[in-house]
Amino acid sequence: MLSTPPVRSRGSKIAFMFLTPGNLPFEKLWEKFFEGHEGRYTIYVHASREKPEHVSRLFIGRDIHSDKVQWGQISMVDAERRLLANALQDIDNQHFVLLSDSCVPLHNFDYVYDYLMGTNLSFIDSFYDPGPHGNFRYSQNMLPEVRESDFRKGSQVIYCTIY
């Protein structure tokens, strides 16, 4: 499988995957961010507690349905995997951005698109955190796969590419 040549896509798109407990409070801001760039992105929304009521036409019909998600539990990983699995079904999606409901764009779409398309790096935040929401949560039940010295806290927001 690794020696199989990549499937050629018609045009590279970025999959924006939102993991949220309900509505997206900055949906209108994201609509302005995406405006005029149709065909260069796809949107996926996983709402864990309630079905969101979208205020932007761009988000209607983009929901991924599944079981309830609890913060800090394995159900969050399952929801992230579900978002990614749906995004991977579109062969034009070459870059994948996982976002929370509180994320907002800091640059315009062209800047973000050009930056991400110009890199083959993935960005995942991981760090040692001795506090109650970090490494304190380590459990010996994670052995032998995860040693305490390797356990890290990570940000929900990630970016990865399929290259």
Residues 38, 44, 49, CA angle at the centre, nearest 5°? Answer: 145
pLDDT of 2 reads 43
Q: How confident is the model at residue 157 (pLDDT cuts 50, 70, 90)?
A: low
Q: Is residue 30 pLDDT above 60, yes or no? A: yes
pLDDT of 9 > 70? The answer is no
Q: What pLDDT digit, counting tens, does each position of 56-83 carry? A: 999 999 998 777 788 777 788 899 999 9
Q: pTM of this prediction?
A: 0.79
Helix or strand (DSSP H, E) at 114? helix 109-117
- Per-residue pLDDT at 1 exceeds 50: no
Q: Which residues contact 112 (CB under 8 A, 6 or more apart)?
A: 14, 105
Distance CA(98)–CA(159), nearest Å, equals 6
